[in-house]
Amino acid sequence: MTTDPHVLGPGLLPTPFTAAEIREATGRGKTILLRVEQPDGSRGERVNRFRETDAEGATLDRWAADAPEAVASSRVTWAELQGHAAFPAAHTTVTDVSLETPLGVLECRRYDTSEAPDAPVESFWFSLAHPGMPVRYEVPVHGGVLRTTVLSVTHP
């Protein structure tokens, strides 16, 4: 049995960050601005903001940038956020790459994963300098690929 905090279970690859690393990088008020690009070419921006942080997790507020009055809030734990990057070893490849982003050129760990060998591949780029969500991800959806890119990360 492994004691590596990056490995969340049997058959899973190590996550790029531990729950503790995500907690340390995410303080009250951390705000992430994202661009969401639909397969049809339309795009919009979304905001994620953390508040009421503690040792176990935080309240995460999310809203469309053009509708700040429509905030959806939920309690998340650092372990849950880490778990979002726990991919199956059998159907995932991991590479270290440089990625040009709105945050600059970032050294990233890229995970290309699928539910089965013949299933569509989803790609996630995690910046090694920004513990937390991927700075870019691409997911196949009906009509093409949905791409989400982090535009900015701010701390109060």
* H or E stretch covering 24: helix 19-25
Mention every residue, 6+ apart, whose C-beta is less than 8 A from residue 133.
Answer: 32, 48, 81, 84, 126, 150
Q: What are the domain boundaries of the chain?
A: 19-154
Residue 2 confidence class, pLDDT cut points 50, 70, 90: low
Model pTM above 0.75: yes
Q: Is the pLDDT of residue 141 over 70?
A: yes
CB burial of 127-138 (b: ≥16 within 10 Å; e: otherwise) equals beebbbbbbbbb
CA distances from 12 to 9, 89, 125 (A): 6, 5, 17
Q: Is the pLDDT of residue 1 over 60?
A: no
Mention every residue, 6+ apart, whose C-beta is less than 8 A from residue 74.
Answer: 59, 60
Distance CA(91)–CA(107), nearest Å, equals 23
CB burial of 101-113 (b: ≥16 within 10 Å; e: otherwise) equals bebeebebbbbeb
pLDDT digits (tens, 9 = 90+) for 32-81: 999 999 999 999 999 999 999 999 999 999 999 999 999 999 999 999 99
- Token reading at 31: 């705000």
Give the CATH class of 19-154: mainly beta
Answer whether 117's CB lies under 8 Å from 92's CB: no
Residue 115 confidence class, pLDDT cut points 50, 70, 90: confident
Distance CA(136)–CA(70), nearest Å, equals 24
